[in-house]
Amino acid sequence: MITGEQVFLPAFQSGQTHLKIEGTEFHHLVRVRRFTEGDEIWVVNGTGTAARATLDSIGESSLDLVVLEEFKNRGELGINLILAVANLKGDHLNLIVEKATELGVNEIIPLLTDHTIKKGINTKRLERIAVSAMKQSRRSRFPRIHDITPFQTAVKNLTEAVHLFCYGSDSSASIVPSIQKMKGSIPIVIWIGPEGDWSKDEIDLASISDYTFTGLGPRRLRAETAAIHAVGLVSALQQDSV
């Protein structure tokens, strides 16, 4: 049986021909999905290596795989797409991490902004969500999830990139033409503000940093909707251009 089932095996290195699956991945494949010897699955290591493999033998608590074919950057966009998004109330950041991972984001930076209400994040939980989304979307890279970062620090750290600063203003350019003008392999950073929007100081800093102020249409979007919408547009347009 050939399926799109994908497992995450961080220890998998390029060039290996035999792999062993244990723990939760073994339980899911054998006890839940009822895979048997001879079935084929995909294995990824989260750093861009993917392999099509067949179940060679199944034991009581582990199974052995034989690698059939190896691929590099399976399911990836081919650009470094970074999402810098204000930490949001409730579980909204969980949703953003899930969908941004599915759409090809390489790094997610939760921001501490002037209007941020929720100050902390559960990094381990966000990483579990990202792993699940990576497997579901058949990507081969695991997005890096940063610790919560002050906005000013993120601006200082993210220098060599194209910056799309999402801000609902009449003077903001439409995001689609802004994306279509992008050429080359320079990283793209999407900036999304909090529920209370960016502060004047943050807007001024983005302006003097020569960020591209971009709008997302005539409707007022919730922060989590704006993040997913912006990432989706960039992902689709960049994917079409490669």
Tell how strand 81-86 and strand 49-58 pair up: unpaired
DSSP letter at 29 equals: I
The answer on pLDDT for 149 being more than 90 is: yes
- The two most distant CA atoms of the chain are separated, in Å, by 63
Task: List, for residues 163-200, the tens digit of each pLDDT value.
Answer: 999 998 777 778 777 777 666 668 999 999 999 999 99
Kindly provide the residue ranges of all beta strands, DSSP E only, lying in the chain, ordered along the sequence: 2-8, 18-22, 40-44, 49-58, 62-72, 81-86, 107-112, 144-145, 149-150, 162-166, 173-174, 188-192, 212-215
Task: List, for residues 63-85, the tens digit of each pLDDT value.
Answer: 999 999 999 999 999 889 999 99
Percentage of the chain modeled with pLDDT above 70: 95
Containing H/E element for 232?
helix 223-241
- State both tokens at 210: 């020569």
Which domains does the chain carry? 2-72 (2.40.240.20), 81-241 (3.40.1280.10)
Mean pLDDT of all residues in 121-142: 96
Task: List, for residues 89-122, the tens digit of each pLDDT value.
Answer: 999 999 999 999 999 999 999 999 999 999 999 9
Mean pLDDT of all residues in 19-27: 94
DSSP letter at 219 equals: S
